[in-house]
Amino acid sequence: MQQFLNFINGEFVATGKTFENRAPVDNRVLGLVHEAGQREVDAAVAAARAALKGPWGRMSVVKRVELLHAVADEINRRFDDFLAAEIADTGKPLSLASHIDIPRGAANFKVFADIVKNVPTESFEMTTPDGGTAVSYGLRTPVGVVAVVCPWNLPLLLMTWKVGPALACGNTVIVKPSEETPATATLLGEVMKAVGVPDGVYNVVHGFGPGSAGEFLTKHPGVNAITFTGETRTGEAIMAAAAKGVRPVSFELGGKNAGIVFADADFDKAVAGITRSAFENCGQVCLGTERVYVQRPIFDRFVAALKDKAEALQIGPSEQPGVGLGPLISAEHKQKVLGYYAKAKAEGATIVTGGGAPQMPGALAEGHWVQPTIWTGLPESASVIREEIFGPCCHIAPFDTEDEAIALANATDYGLATTVWTQNLGTAHRMASAIEVGLCWINSWFLRDLRTAFGGAKASGIGREGGVHSLEFYTELRNVMIKL
Ligand code: NAD
């Protein structure tokens, strides 16, 4: 049986304690994950600290950039291994993982290496009080040992989105992948070794959150900074852990994003866009739109069109040609999503489509499948409109005016993303200014340029990563003043 081992100081490390990793498509056991205890976390932190002083710490930026390009090339060379590992862990459609997850996993190393190589720091010349001259300049230094705590929905993509810039800036990392998706982080250990990244620079500790590797890592005094993607309430626990030692955090948290469709939108493109934003990755995308607001003149037509799209989505295993919807990540998550489906019904929703679990054939019957689901008719106070579900579902409500759409979009504690569909540039710009989010897509969704800022407002996060913004978190900016 496959063993998912920790990766500490360049070695794969077994522990006496294992838990099962199961496939979402049919619940079969994929392998055993070796849970890291305090001892392994201590060893990983010690290795990461030592590596800061070793060849990695002394390496020129040019050499570091070359190595990170080699990491990306090696991921691409082993593309099929990464693809198979990601698909087994998540059950997501092959078309999705092969177009987004794995290519972006590789790109995250190249893009941030190039940014670090090319982005200058500030420099000023000034006249001193005695009439002389002084020159000051910024010097970026690594923050040190960075803990990277990851979720399960886009495992390789979201992990490398943080490991790429952290390493490019000269830090060392300890990754705690989600307990649901241990495979690609482990595989990346093989890549690091193969291309010659020094031991201790990239470490992986497996396990859970409280009372396990996640808590041990984030509470560890040898960790200098914590970058985390996951639920808002987990962020609260990690922030409390980070308070000890006043360590910086970068948080990408939950969302309850609004999709807004104006009557003047390109109708077909808007329907296609909202189909993606509501159902892609089985709705397990932090940027997804579980609240959709459509301007009244096109409301009925839009609901009917989205219903057709949802019902046309093929539900099935990753490799099945044409499949558009995989399973949810786990039995527990399926229970949570179906709980919301039941709540929507109990609270009086009109179920436009879905609302339950599909019958799947053979072994797939053991998988964590749910139907794509659309509701209408609920008041804004309903649970499925207020709380993040993280499933393939949305509620659609009509609106009349721009101001009303803005108020509806903002009536949430979260503030991650929005997608607005309109052909009027003025409307687009006013919406982008008024909706309280970190990311606003106009006539698009989840379209990313890695050089741009990414992050959430309100309860959806702290800080921004992406492009030069990542350097703000992964480096200390030191000011050097030279009196000439
Ligand atoms: P989660 O918060 O349950 O777990 C994330 C990680 O934190 C896991 O590795 C887990 O083991 C660890 N963890 C849990 N409790 C911990 C603790 N007390 N101390 C240290 N580590 C702990 O999130 P999830 O269910 O894996 O992911 C889904 C959530 O992630 C959703 O809320 C989603 O919106 C959010 N998300 C946000 C973004 C973003 O960019 N804003 C991206 C993807 C996912």
Q: Is 208 in the pocket of ligand 1 (CB under 6 A)?
A: yes
pLDDT at res. 70: 98
CA 182 to the chain's CA centroid: 15
| Residue 452 maps to a domain | no
Rounded Cα distance between 244 and 222, Å, is: 11
Q: Which residue among 4, 215, 286 is best mutated to probe the pocket of ligand 1, counting the most ligand atoms within 8 A of its Cβ?
A: 286
Rounded Cα distance between 372 and 431, Å, is: 28
Torsion angle, CA of 199/474/5/244, rounded to 10 degrees? 110
- 104 torsion bin: left (phi>0), alpha (psi -120 to 50), beta (else): alpha
Rounded Cα distance between 425 and 60, Å, is: 46
**Is residue 241 domain-shared with residue 283, that is, in the same domain?**
no
**Is residue 155 domain-shared with residue 245, that is, in the same domain?**
yes
Q: Is 230 in the pocket of ligand 1 (CB under 6 A)?
A: yes
Protein residue whose Cα sits closest to atom 41 of ligand 1: 252
Q: 118 near 471, Cβ under 8 Å?
A: no
Q: Is 251 in the pocket of ligand 1 (CB under 6 A)?
A: no
Owner of token pair 């890549």: 191
Q: Is 226 in the pocket of ligand 1 (CB under 6 A)?
A: no
Nearest to 180 by CA among 327, 41, 318: 327
User: Cα of 158 to ligand 1 centre, how many Å?
Assistant: 11
User: Cα of 177 to ligand 1 centre, how many Å?
Assistant: 10
For the domain that residue 108 is a member of, what is the CATH number?
Answer: 3.40.605.10
> 188: domain range?
2-253+460-483
| Residue 450 maps to a domain | no
73-to-69, 98, 199, 293 alpha-carbon distances in Å: 6, 16, 19, 43
Eight-state DSSP code of residue 387: S
Strand, coil or helix: 358: coil
pLDDT at res. 459: 98
**Is residue 421 domain-shared with residue 464, that is, in the same domain?**
no
Q: Where are the alpha helices (DSSP H) in 24-101?
A: 38-53, 55-58, 61-77, 79-90, 94-96
**Is residue 230 domain-shared with residue 288, that is, in the same domain?**
no
Rounded Cα distance between 245 and 326, Å, is: 42
| Residue 180 maps to a domain | yes
Rounded Cα distance between 145 and 130, Å, is: 42
Q: 286 near 320, Cβ under 8 Å?
A: no
Rounded Cα distance between 382 and 290, Å, is: 12
**Is residue 356 domain-shared with residue 321, that is, in the same domain?**
yes
pTM of the model: 0.97
Candidate list 252, 280, 388, 402, residue with the active-site label: 252
**Strand-pair category, 323-325 with 314-315:** parallel
Rounded Cα distance between 411 and 409, Å, is: 6
**Is residue 19 domain-shared with residue 129, that is, in the same domain?**
yes
User: Cα of 259 to ligand 1 centre, how many Å?
Assistant: 23
User: Cα of 167 to ligand 1 centre, how many Å?
Assistant: 22
| Residue 344 maps to a domain | yes
| Residue 63 maps to a domain | yes
Protein residue whose Cα sits closest to atom 15 of ligand 1: 209
**Is residue 194 domain-shared with residue 58, that is, in the same domain?**
yes
| 441-482 per-position pLDDT tens digit | 999 999 999 999 999 999 999 999 999 999 999 999 999 999
User: Cα of 403 to ligand 1 centre, how many Å?
Assistant: 33
Q: Is 255 in the pocket of ligand 1 (CB under 6 A)?
A: yes
Rounded Cα distance between 444 and 265, Å, is: 12
**Is residue 264 domain-shared with residue 397, that is, in the same domain?**
yes
Rounded Cα distance between 116 and 421, Å, is: 35
For the residues of 277-333, what is the DSSP string, one character each? HHHGGGG--TT-EEEEEEEGGGHHHHHHHHHHHHHHSEE--TTSTTEEE---S-HHH
**Is residue 390 domain-shared with residue 266, that is, in the same domain?**
yes
Protein residue whose Cα sits closest to atom 23 of ligand 1: 230
User: Cα of 38 to ligand 1 centre, how many Å?
Assistant: 20
Protein residue whose Cα sits closest to atom 40 of ligand 1: 252
**Is residue 238 domain-shared with residue 283, that is, in the same domain?**
no
pLDDT at res. 387: 98
**Is residue 249 domain-shared with residue 317, that is, in the same domain?**
no
pLDDT at res. 466: 97
User: Cα of 94 to ligand 1 centre, how many Å?
Assistant: 24
For the residues of 155-193, what is the DSSP string, one character each? HHHHHHHHHHHHHHTT-EEEEE--TT--HHHHHHHHHHH
- Domains in the chain, number: 2
3-state secondary structure 111-151: HHHHHHHHCCCCEEEEECCCCCEEEEEEEEEECCEEEEECC
pLDDT at res. 295: 99
Q: Is 214 in the pocket of ligand 1 (CB under 6 A)?
A: yes
| Residue 10 maps to a domain | yes
**Is residue 324 domain-shared with residue 407, that is, in the same domain?**
yes
For the domain that residue 411 is a member of, what is the CATH number?
Answer: 3.40.309.10
| Residue 321 maps to a domain | yes
Q: Catalytic site residue 252?
A: yes
Rounded Cα distance between 175 and 317, Å, is: 29
CA 445 to the chain's CA centroid: 15
453-to-68, 222, 353 alpha-carbon distances in Å: 21, 28, 36
Number of alpha carbons in the 13 Å side-chain half-sphere of residue 18: 18
Q: Is 412 in the pocket of ligand 1 (CB under 6 A)?
A: no
Q: Is 210 in the pocket of ligand 1 (CB under 6 A)?
A: yes
Eight-state DSSP code of residue 27: -
Q: Is 390 in the pocket of ligand 1 (CB under 6 A)?
A: yes
Joined tokens for residue 220: 């560890």
| Residue 449 maps to a domain | no
Residues in the chain predicted with pLDDT less than 70, given as ranges, are: none
